[in-house]
Amino acid sequence: MSGQTRTLTLADVAAAAGVSLSTASLAFSGNKPVSEVTRERVLAAAATLGYSGPNLLARNLRQGRSGVVGIAVGKLSTAFQDPAALPMMDAVSQVLGSAGMGLLLMGDDDGHARLPLDAVIYAVCGRDTWAAYDDLVVRDVPVVVVDGPSWAGASLVDVDHRAGCVDLGAHLHGLGHRRVATVTLEASHPQRERDAGLREVFPDAVTIGACPSDLAAAQSLAGTYLAERPDVTAIVCQSDVQAAGVVLEARRRGLAVPGDLSVAGFDGVPTPWLDLVLTTVVQPLAEKGRATADAVLKRIEGEDVADVVLPVELRVGDSTGPA
Amino acid sequence: MSGQTRTLTLADVAAAAGVSLSTASLAFSGNKPVSEVTRERVLAAAATLGYSGPNLLARNLRQGRSGVVGIAVGKLSTAFQDPAALPMMDAVSQVLGSAGMGLLLMGDDDGHARLPLDAVIYAVCGRDTWAAYDDLVVRDVPVVVVDGPSWAGASLVDVDHRAGCVDLGAHLHGLGHRRVATVTLEASHPQRERDAGLREVFPDAVTIGACPSDLAAAQSLAGTYLAERPDVTAIVCQSDVQAAGVVLEARRRGLAVPGDLSVAGFDGVPTPWLDLVLTTVVQPLAEKGRATADAVLKRIEGEDVADVVLPVELRVGDSTGPA
DNA sequence: TTGTAAGCGTTATCAC
DNA sequence: GTGATAACGCTTACAA
């Protein structure tokens, strides 16, 4: 054919339809009433020319938003391995999606920060990931932090880790347990809060060690500990996956759960490795995600958002019993 | 103070620094040489005014790109539960990130399509998710499909599912297995290819059923089947997670693996549920991700990209033995 | 090395 | 309900 086809613009469509640029714009956006007949004329013209709708980059500039929300998750393969992360992210994505916005994954590596984000969520990510935070503040990008800690200028969505662990501790104490050990997550806000909660009931709880929410890691940690035949009657873990690992390891060593050893977790996620119901603290994961997305949307609109701390619920299962 | 602070623009900075707009732009982008002294002057002026760098939305419009690549993954919580998905996504994100681009999650729900994406990756997602495809073609958005099937106008990154399963089948045949059954994934390109590969060696393989790559699902499927005390000597699964489920279920029913029953998988991912090394077909997951990202970047540059089919490798573990 | 000027393709404000 | 016009804030030929 003949030469380069210049990109089609709304002006071309307007011309072809014999209407003004602004009318054509309205025909597409519907932001103001347009007579049915002219609107059809515009759409017809667009179809004829092969115009695929208003340029989104131009619209973004004009409206001052990108429609994209970043979510800092540290290393992807780590973050998503945590079964507690998924239902939350799912809810976030869903709520954002129905507002026409998208969720962009920010690794801990690099330059995602050079993208025009309307807001950023900090979730399931370690301390190091916070480096870019100051930059965001400078650029006035709203920030929502999930699972704390509270951060100047950022909105917070959290669950009541501490109360949950207090309840769990009380449950064990009620069953007669007195010598308790704990497996913790790596240093973080949830880790500190959960530990503090447990220690309100068992100040002298023995810390077995810290590890990620990973089955194998928890198993090996528990293995070394149980090998010494300690006299604890219960082990409290800071995640269900850890708890599953401890249960498996205890059984491997001939300990009955909960007969010889009670084991408890945190999160309330499925544990397909086990044939029993774990005693745990159930987080409202989907609600956490929705609350996060709501906070993001409000902050983008410039509204103030109060911090949110969602309640958790103790679920008594089959993994804990009398001391 | 006095009234509304109009947003700071590069023009303000240029004025304050006593240079032209274009010089100020270059001082920030470095796209052309600027004398050290003027560049410092510009940056100083920016710092004084509290200017946080060029508006990214404006830059996007000007350059005709958003810096964002969408990845269609169906339902998040399903997609990321598959351990094979993570290392791949990780690699994609990393490569894109180092090119200054970000990865946006597209759920199967909705309107993420109204975001200005520079390209879209279709991965780990079922058939239904392809609905938006035509729209992308119309808008000339490059598309890269991972794990097939090949699609008109889209680039393809795949692994040689079929050859891998032929090798696996040969391995079992060599061990003397003749009566073989298989657990498949739900209908998809990988599912069909893997099945076809197996049937090149065992045309009469019994299909136990299809299920997601989920431990519990595979366990229950295997349970029903094994209850009938079939005379098969080996079960080939289309994923390692399924294979793990089958192993656990077989043992639960008193069958020794590989003594009474050989079990094989596909993927080459960790199976923390098992204390044996699974015989499986190992995919180069990270490389798959890198190839995908490379294809995306090239397509965005307008280059043509040849389809890629990566080789896989049979790993003989402890889950298969003589018939 | 620096300055001038022309867009990038919309949407929003205002008058008609 | 429709039309003119002014931003939105930047990058990049091209000229000096």
pLDDT for A2 equals 39
pLDDT for B102 equals 94
pLDDT in tens, B258-267: 999 999 999 9
Contact B104 A105 (CB under 8 A): yes
pLDDT for B231 equals 92
Query: Matching CATH topology for A68-159+285-310 and A161-283?
Result: yes
CA A187, distance to chain mean position in Å, is 18
pLDDT bucket at A112, cuts 50 / 70 / 90: low
DSSP A237-300: ESSHHHHHHHHHHHHHTT--TTTT-EEE-SB----TT-SSPPBEEEP-HHHHHHHHHHHHHHHH
Alpha-carbon distance A273 to nearest alpha carbon in chain B (angstroms): 7
Contact B235, B198 (CB under 8 A): no
* Least confident piece of the model among A292-296, B122-126, B167-171: B122-126
pLDDT bucket at A229, cuts 50 / 70 / 90: confident
CATH number among 3.60.20.10, 3.30.70.360, 3.40.50.300, 3.40.50.2300, domain B161-283: 3.40.50.2300
CB proximity list for B131: less than 8 A, separation 6 or greater: none
Question: Which of B193, B253, B195, B191 lies closest to B222, judged by CA?
Answer: B253
pLDDT for B215 equals 92
**pLDDT over 90 percentage in chain B:** 82
Alpha-carbon distance A286 to nearest alpha carbon in chain B (angstroms): 11
Q: Which amino acid is at A167?
A: D
Which residue of A lies nearest to B58 if distances are taken between CA atoms?
Answer: A61
CB-based contact, B110 to chain A, within 8 Å:
yes
Given a cut of 90, whether residue B40 has pLDDT beyond it is: yes
CA A305, distance to chain mean position in Å, is 18
pLDDT for B207 equals 97
* Least confident piece of the model among A57-71, B7-21, B35-49, B142-156: B142-156
The reply to whether A56 Cβ lies less than 7 angstroms from strand C is: no
Q: Rounded mean pLDDT of A301-321?
A: 96
pLDDT for B111 equals 61
Could you give the CA distance from residue B181 to residue A252 in angstroms, rounded to a whole number?
31
Domain ranges (residues) in chain A = 10-54, 68-159+285-310, 161-283
pLDDT bucket at B73, cuts 50 / 70 / 90: confident
pLDDT for A109 equals 66
Given a cut of 50, whether residue A102 has pLDDT beyond it is: yes
- Residue B113 DSSP symbol: G
* Least confident piece of the model among A79-93, A167-181, B121-135: B121-135
Could you give the CA distance from residue B69 to residue A144 in angstroms, rounded to a whole number?
23
**pLDDT over 70 percentage in chain A:** 95
Residues 189..228 of B with a Cβ closer than 8 Å to A: which?
Answer: 214-216, 219
pLDDT in tens, B202-244: 999 999 999 999 999 999 999 999 999 889 999 999 999 999 9
Q: In chain A, where do the E strands start and end?
A: 68-72, 102-106, 119-122, 143-146, 155-159, 180-184, 206-210, 234-237, 262-264, 280-282, 308-310, 313-315
Strand partners, B280: B315
pLDDT bucket at B114, cuts 50 / 70 / 90: confident
pLDDT for A3 equals 43
Q: Rounded mean pLDDT of A96-109?
A: 88
- CA closest to C1' of C13 belongs to A22
Contact A109 B102 (CB under 8 A): no
pTM: 0.93
Could you give the CA distance from residue B54 to residue B86 in angstroms, rounded to a whole number?
34
Note the maximum CA span of chain A: 87
Given a cut of 90, whether residue A193 has pLDDT beyond it is: yes
Cis amide leading into B258 (omega within 30): yes
Given a cut of 80, whether residue A174 has pLDDT beyond it is: yes
Query: Residue B313: helix, strand or coil by DSSP?
Result: strand
pLDDT for B77 equals 81
Could you give the CA distance from residue A243 to residue A222 in angstroms, rounded to a whole number?
10
pLDDT in tens, A241-279: 999 999 999 999 999 999 999 999 999 999 988 989 999
Given a cut of 60, whether residue A129 has pLDDT beyond it is: no
- Residue B270 DSSP symbol: -
CB proximity list for B231: less than 8 A, separation 6 or greater: B179
pLDDT for B131 equals 65
Query: What is the spatial distance, in angstroms and rounded to an integer, between the CA atom of B270 and the C1' atom of C7?
Result: 54
Strands B280-282, B313-315: pairing is antiparallel
Which residue of B lies nearest to A67 if distances are taken between CA atoms?
Answer: B115
Contact A102 B56 (CB under 8 A): no
pLDDT for A1 equals 40
The reply to whether B60 Cβ lies less than 7 angstroms from strand D is: no
Given a cut of 80, whether residue A101 has pLDDT beyond it is: yes
CB-based contact, A48 to chain B, within 8 Å:
no
pLDDT bucket at B1, cuts 50 / 70 / 90: very low
Strand partners, B245: none
Q: Is domain A68-159+285-310 classified as CATH 3.40.50.2300?
A: yes
Contact B57 A66 (CB under 8 A): yes
pLDDT bucket at B130, cuts 50 / 70 / 90: low
Work out the angle at residue A197's Cα, subtended by the Cα atoms of residues A171 and A262, and round it to the nearest 5 degrees: 40
Given a cut of 70, whether residue B129 has pLDDT beyond it is: no
**Residue of A4, A55, A61 to mutate, interface with B, max B Cβ within 10 Å:** A61
CB-based contact, A131 to chain B, within 8 Å:
no
Strand partners, A313: A282
Q: Which of residues 52-91 of A touch strand D (CB under 7 A)?
A: 58, 61-62, 64
pLDDT for B310 equals 98
**Helix spans in chain B (H):** 10-17, 21-29, 36-49, 56-63, 76-79, 85-98, 133-138, 161-174, 189-201, 215-227, 240-252, 285-300
Neighbours of B125 (CB within 10 A): 23
pLDDT in tens, A12-39: 999 999 999 999 999 999 999 999 999 9
Note the maximum CA span of chain B: 88
